Amino acid sequence: MEGTTPVIETIEAPLTYVVPTGEKLFAYNYEPPPGMPLRTGRYEPQQITIRNGRALADTLSLDREGFVLLREPSAVGNFYDEAEVKRIYYPEIVRLLTAATGAAKVVIFDHTVRNTAPEKQIGRQVRGAAARVHNDYTETSAPQRVRDLLPPAEAEARLQRRYAEINVWRPITGPVQSSPLALCDARSLDPADLIPSELRYPDRTGETYAVAYNARHRWLYFPEMRADEALLIKCFDSARDGRARLSVHTAFEDPSTPPDAPARESIEVRAFLFF
């Protein structure tokens, strides 16, 4: 119809993958010791077809694709205010995740605010976009993080039953035009694509997955996400019953982004769910 904007079914954009070399992968989350690089690994962009997921939004499942898009307004007035986020937003996310999954217990353990304007980035308080294909937790780091967070007896009891880690990603302002998020359908992942990478902190060492390119990967994104929308992204699931165990993701440069598009502002909350 004349005067309407056509729906973009797919776009072509570069996504940055790790190149498998056999090198031990690690990254420091602080100034590395003298003589150590900030990170290891060689990363290269691959030109990828990314499908507009909005037409599929009502059919997506955490247990099939590994992510869902929900309309979920928030009462938070200032996402840059850590105290307000913890007081208002954390309880909102507990309610959201409980309703979406039926979890018996939800434990939020941190959040990250991101702003792609370099002058707005402040250490770990406000970061830039994560522009490498990755996943936040591994077979090693997920149970270890549970043990870090819960009292020993409770942690061991919880680890005997199903548990999952889910990130809730939301724009702070919208619509998002620059550095949107791309998500990979869990069914198109091969375990061999996932390469453990240490994430080194001053007081502990975590582990994430870097991801090697595979032509089978199927990618979706949700253009122009609004501040009243939230993505639930499964980063780990202990269940081995055929459901999706994780979905990898990355920020990317959308070639259709206007040159004067505002910086992307977003917040992601990380939570463990126990069943």
Helix (H), strand (E), coil (C) string for the chain: CCCCCCCCCEEEEEEEEEECCCCCEEEECCCCCCCCCCECCEEEEEEEEEEECHHHHHHCCCCCCCEEEEECCCCCCCCCCHHHHHHHHHHHHHHHHHHHHCCCEEEEEEEEEEECCHHHCECCCEECCCCCCEECCCCCHHHHHHHHHCCHHHHHHHHCCCEEEEEEEEECCCCCCCCCEEEECHHHCCHHHEEEEEEECCCCEEEEEEEECCCCCCEEECCCCCCCEEEEEEEEECCCCCCCCCCCEEECCCCCCCCCCCCCEEEEEEEEEEC
- Return the closest-CA partner of residue 237 out of 135, 154, 153: 135
Give per-residue pLDDT as tens, 143-179. 999 999 999 999 999 999 999 999 999 999 999 999 9
Of 176 and 5, the structure prediction assigns the larger pLDDT to: 176
Which of 102-106, 127-131, 223-227 is the least confident region? 127-131
Give per-residue pLDDT as tens, 63-86. 999 999 999 999 999 999 999 999
ω before 175 within 30° of 0 (cis)? yes
Length of the chain in terms of residues written: 275
For the stretch 27-36, what's the b/e string if a residue is b when 16 or more beta carbons lie within 10 angstroms of its beta carbon? bbeeeeeeee
pLDDT at residue 8, rounded to an integer: 60
Contact 121, 109 (CB under 8 A): no
